Amino acid sequence: MSRRVLVLNGPNLGRLGSREPDVYGATSYAGLVDTCQALGKELGLDVDVRETNDEGEMIRWLHEAADGSIPVVLNPGAFTHYSYAMRDAAAQRTAPLIEVHISNPYTREAFRHTSVVAAVASGTIAGFGIGSYRLALRALAEELGG
């Protein structure tokens, strides 16, 4: 029996592969989806990968996760640094929530050094490219007893 997991991606992540490949790598968004779903299957996780540029939609997805006790891998994108509404939705979690970032925010512009999500997440994984998602899924599987 597999456990459902949401992998939620914020603004501009749908442009992976074409958006600043020197920062975010050459893997496309479709490649990210494939990577997460394949690893999820291997780990016994039913991975549902989503992306939005809309803060309200992200909040609704976090509510869905809280209401269903669904674990989350969350790359908030730019929402990381200022979306207190998204942070408050993440704080309502009823299952593990792992914040991920493709790049290491601390090696970038100063405004990226602050995460409003980190304090309400189970943990944060950053700086390993698409591997950040693989590490997060493995951590979730372990956390869930798999």
Residue 102 belongs to domain with CATH number: 3.40.50.9100
Question: Which has more pLDDT, 53 or 27?
Answer: 53
Measured between alpha carbons, how far is 14 from 2 in angstroms, rounded to an integer? 26
Kindly list the strands in the beta sheet with 72-75, ordered across the sheet, starting from the edge strand earlier in the chain.
45-51, 3-9, 72-75, 97-101, 123-126
In a domain, 94, yes or no: yes
In a domain, 116, yes or no: no
Q: How many domains does the chain have?
A: 1
| Mean pLDDT (the chain, rounded) | 88
Are the CB atoms for 133 and 13 separated by under 8 Å?
Answer: no
Q: In this predicted structure, what is the pLDDT of residue 105?
A: 76
| Residues tagged in the binding site annotation for substrate | 75, 81, 88, 102-103, 112
In a domain, 114, yes or no: no
Give me the mean pLDDT over the 73-83 stretch: 91
Q: Whole domain around residue 41: which residue ranges?
A: 3-109+121-143
**66 Cβ neighbours under 8 A, 6+ residues apart:** 89, 92, 93, 94
Q: Which residues are catalytic?
A: 24, 101
In a domain, 115, yes or no: no
- How does pLDDT run across 104-119, given as a tens digit for each residue? 876 667 766 679 999 9
Give me the mean pLDDT over the 67-71 stretch: 97
Q: In this predicted structure, what is the pLDDT of residue 41?
A: 96
The structure tokens listed for 18 are 């074409």
Measured between alpha carbons, how far is 61 from 39 in angstroms, rounded to an integer? 22
| Residues tagged in the binding site annotation | 75, 81, 88, 102-103, 112
Are the CB atoms for 28 and 16 separated by under 8 Å?
Answer: yes
